[in-house]
Amino acid sequence: MKAVAIAGALGLIVALASVPVISQGRGSAAPARAAAARPAPRLPNGKPSMTGVWDNTRRADVTNKAIPGFVKDLPYTAWGKSKWDGYEAFMQTNGDYVGNCLPFGMSRSIYGPHPLQIIHDNDNLVMLFEQNSMFHIVPTDGRAFTKDLPPSWFGESVGHWDGDTLVVETVNLNGYTRVDTIGHPMSARARITQTFKRVDFNTIEHTFTVNDPKTYTSPWTVKDTWPLDPETKLLEYACMENNRALFEGRIKPFIPPDDVD
């Protein structure tokens, strides 16, 4: 009887060990990488589909040389350099918007510590960010930007195809967001261009270009390769929940800058 019980227990342990683990965050994409030879799936219109959960690269600092694809030097204007040099003083006076549970914006969501899910059809690409449970819809049907749309944290995006590469342009930002966690500046005049190229079933080559003539003298680009991460499930992100530092006043309320135009 004991032998039967031990054998049953061992069988249960083996069975449990073989169950896929749903994880939050990075580094769970090994099964996807094993099948890299599979071709990219296609939409009904014949273009590559970007649908999937992606292990997007964490970048707290886009100039961090330890992460491939970094920006070597940011070409500041005088205004941009003053915003970078004065960031610590700004934080002490104005606070950090993300500490107030406000939207992270495009770059800090793309390069944040949480995964990204994409849903894609012929006419729209939808980015679902675990961070702050935010979403961003990108029409890809050839339309122009919306006239007189109010500025926003993520701005407005439209997409078009360059062969099998999806190009996403974003404008109409509110000028409140920073490029990354460390605080590199970006103004309301910024235009963000992203490219998405699904080179095989399990890989997207992604670029992120900032063209912001108020802040930088020339455009600069970050380059990444994202592996598919099918075993990761996006979880609910509730910033306000149990955020005692905010409720108790230890986080300084965010005051938007007054020079965003």
How much is the pLDDT for 249?
Answer: 76
| Domains present along the chain, CATH in parentheses | 30-247 (2.40.128.20)
What integer is the mean pLDDT of 54-82? 97
| 44 has pLDDT over 70 | yes
Average pLDDT, the chain: 88
Instruction: Give the model's confidence band at 35: pLDDT under 50 very low, under 70 low, under 90 confident, else very high.
Output: low
Q: Tens digits of per-residue pLDDT, 239-248?
A: 877 777 777 7
Q: What is the pTM of this model?
A: 0.84
How much is the pLDDT for 250?
Answer: 81
Instruction: Give the model's confidence band at 68: pLDDT under 50 very low, under 70 low, under 90 confident, else very high.
Output: very high
How much is the pLDDT for 45?
Answer: 97
> Is residue 4 classed exposed, middle or buried when 0-12, 13-18 and 19+ CB atoms within 10 A define those classes?
exposed
Instruction: Give the model's confidence band at 251: pLDDT under 50 very low, under 70 low, under 90 confident, else very high.
Output: confident
